[in-house]
Amino acid sequence: MIKIGDTLVSLDVIECYFCCNLDDCKGACCIEGDAGAPITEDEEQAIKEALPAVIEQLPKEAVEVIKKQGVSYVDEEGDLVTSIIGNKDCVFCTYDKKGICLCALEIGYNSGKCTFKKPVSCHLYPIRLTEYPTFTAVNYDERKICRGAVKLGREKGIRVYQFLEGPLVRHFGNEWYEELKLVAEEYFRQKGENV
């Protein structure tokens, strides 16, 4: 583990290779699982504000779920999460012509229709954060659905923390990320490896 400020970062975050390969996984991280994406109350409000700008992109089933229960719910573990369709798709899933699952919120943000990109938990994936009373654990969530991303990351020489620079800066700030980068460079130098 690496200590940066009030976070403990798993070595997997700097050691493991990763680069999303949507052609391989088809966006499975937005579909697979037993609950929606974890969100904060502030994110819930931001999603509600973004909804009018993206609702036309959503499938009919998603709109029905949102009308019935809203953009979020509290799951079995007591966490606030995005609503889902039939215990599967996040309500903000939309599909392109190749069958790749994309985030309607991110599409809306990228096209300038809304100011909220997507929940931090989605933006940081495959990193998962766990909050403790005195620190935040920053862990790499290795899953079979991301095998193609691991392979592509290895081919391109991109590590998890490098691939997720933007989301990590968004959540922790540039100073935190620069410290992580320096620690990673020193770690690999001591191992006699290139970053």
Pairing mode, strands 72-74 and 80-82: antiparallel
Residue 32 in this model has a pLDDT that exceeds 80: no
Name which residue leads in pLDDT, 55 or 145: 55
Match 């940081």 to its residue by tokens. Answer: 124
For the segment 181-188, the average pLDDT, to the nearest whole number, is: 93
User: What proportion of the chain, given as a percentage, has pLDDT over 90?
Assistant: 71
* Calpha distance 130→133 (Å, rounded): 10
Q: Is the confidence at residue 192, as pLDDT, over 90?
A: no
Mean pLDDT in the chain? 91
The yes-or-no verdict on residue 169 having pLDDT over 80 is yes
Query: Has residue 43 got a pLDDT over 80?
Result: yes
pLDDT at residue 33 greater than cutoff 70: no
Catalogue the long-range contacts made by 129-133 (C-beta closer than 8 Å, 24 or more residues apart): 129/171
Q: What is the pLDDT of residue 62?
A: 93
Phi-psi region of 18 (alpha: psi -120 to 50; beta: other; left: phi over 0): beta
Average pLDDT over residues 150-167: 96
Residue 195 has a pLDDT of 63
* Closest to 83 in 3D by CA, of 131, 30, 26: 30
Radius of gyration over every alpha carbon of the chain, rounded to an integer in angstroms: 17
Are the C-beta atoms of residues 84 and 32 closer than 8 Å to each other?
A: no
The percent of residues above 70 in pLDDT, for the chain, comes to 98
Task: Determine the distance from the C-alpha atom of residue 2 to the mean position of all C-alpha atoms in its chain, rounded to a whole number.
Answer: 21
Which tens digits make up the pLDDT trace of 57-93?
Answer: 999 999 999 999 999 999 888 889 999 998 788 999 9
Average pLDDT rounded to a whole number, residues 16-40: 83
Position 163 confidence tier, pLDDT thresholds 50, 70, 90: very high
pLDDT attached to residue 27: 77
The arithmetic mean of pLDDT across residues 117-137, rounded, is 93
- Domain boundaries of the chain, sorted by first residue: 1-18+126-195, 28-122
Beta bridge partners of 73: 81
Distances (CA, A) of 47 to 83, 92, 114, 117: 11, 10, 9, 9
Q: 17: which DSSP letter?
A: B
> Which among 66, 75, 162 is positioned nearest to 105, based on CA atoms?
66
